[in-house]
Amino acid sequence: MTRIVVAGASGLIGSALVRSLTADGHEVLRLVRRAPRAADEVRWDPKRADVDTDRLDGCEAFVNLAGAGVGDHRWTAAYKREIHDSRVLGTAALAEAAAALDTPPRVFLNGSAVGYYGDTGSRAVDESAPAGEGFLPALCVEWEAATAPAHQAGIRTVLARTGLVVARGGGAWAKLFPLFRSGLGGRMGDGRQYWSYIALHDHVAALRHLLDTQTLSGPVNLTAPHPATNREVTAAMGRVLHRPTLFTAPAPALRLALGEMAGDVLGSTRAVPTRLVESGFEFAFPGLDDAIRAA
């Protein structure tokens, strides 16, 4: 049994990861931003760079999946600051805490996103591609750079660049399912933009793979092998849920409703998981229809 620290343990991915780890007999310490109420909770304050490290020495791994939801609110200046600080400041606090331990973890696994690449159009990109332009790429660059203290301390540091997670319980797909079930689903904009998706089951399995595969470090795309266009996503949702997909959300309407965030919805990121596949990882739900059915 190993001891693993998880920040962001109450989120969609974090809670699924905790369930997977504990089912296999690992001891998980969950970082919380309030007074601990359970034996497996440890207090931290990411914005104040305050981590209670008394129980963290000797833990095998730190996993940081914490951060305000990108799609939870309209991108006002204040909420963009919240998105930024919850990721960058929290990552820096954890990386510094890990590096300062007498017995540091062997791996620091930090969340990131395929938003790093920006709008790539129809061009496929893997981990060798440079950062794009805009709010999300700039955020991801800072987010990843905040892991530097862990890397400099000799801790194997992995950056999990996540795509859109196909799940009912949270994220973008949690908002799509009710729409499509009610027959109100349809393509967004012209539908040609690529969505780099991954089934929740595969995402958790990939995180476990990154923790265990000692040769992997640096950025790793956590996406299914074949990104789909929004038009293809729309058709697959209709097939799996047996609903019509006649409605369309025009680009001007999305920009009016979502503001700056519409650029993320209408943008195209065709990210492929080159390093994950080369490391021997096998997807349980590589196809879009299967990923939707699994959710």
- Region for 267 from its dihedrals, namely left if φ exceeds 0, alpha if ψ lies in -120 to 50, beta otherwise: beta
The more confident residue out of 245 and 258 is 245
Alpha carbons 94 and 149: distance in angstroms, whole number: 9
User: How many other C-beta atoms are found inside a 10 Å radius of the C-beta of residue 76?
Assistant: 11
Where does the pLDDT of residue 249 fall: very low under 50, low under 70, confident under 90, or very high at 90 and above?
A: low
pLDDT score of 73: 76
Alpha carbons 291 and 223: distance in angstroms, whole number: 11
CATH number at residue 127: 3.40.50.720
User: How many other C-beta atoms are found inside a 10 Å radius of the C-beta of residue 282?
Assistant: 10
pLDDT score of 258: 46
Mean pLDDT over all residues of the chain? 91
- Region for 43 from its dihedrals, namely left if φ exceeds 0, alpha if ψ lies in -120 to 50, beta otherwise: beta
Decide if 265 is inside a domain.
no
- 74-76-80 Cα angle (round to 5): 95
Least confident of 22-36, 105-119, 205-219, 249-263: 249-263
Decide if 243 is inside a domain.
no
Decide if 111 is inside a domain.
yes
Tally the domains of the chain: 1
pLDDT exceeds cutoff 80 at 254: no
pLDDT exceeds cutoff 50 at 239: yes
pLDDT score of 108: 98
What confidence tens digit (pLDDT) does each residue in 50-62 have?
A: 898 989 999 999 9
Decide if 29 is inside a domain.
yes
Q: Are 211 and 176 in contact (CB under 8 A)?
A: no
What confidence tens digit (pLDDT) does each residue in 143-167 have?
A: 999 999 999 999 999 999 999 999 9
Decide if 126 is inside a domain.
yes
Least confident of 46-50, 83-87, 118-122: 46-50
Q: Are 98 and 153 in contact (CB under 8 A)?
A: yes
The domain in which residue 128 lies consists of 3-165+199-223+272-283
3-state secondary structure at position 31: strand
Where does the pLDDT of residue 69 fall: very low under 50, low under 70, confident under 90, or very high at 90 and above?
A: confident
Decide if 59 is inside a domain.
yes
pLDDT exceeds cutoff 70 at 260: no
Decide if 260 is inside a domain.
no
pLDDT score of 248: 77
pLDDT score of 266: 57
Mean pLDDT of 179-189: 83
What confidence tens digit (pLDDT) does each residue in 190-225 have?
A: 889 999 999 999 999 999 999 999 999 999 999 999
Is the pTM higher than 0.85? The answer reads yes
pLDDT score of 250: 54
37-43, long-range: CB within 8 Å, 24+ apart, which pairs? 42/5
pLDDT exceeds cutoff 60 at 261: no
pLDDT score of 252: 59
Decide if 69 is inside a domain.
yes
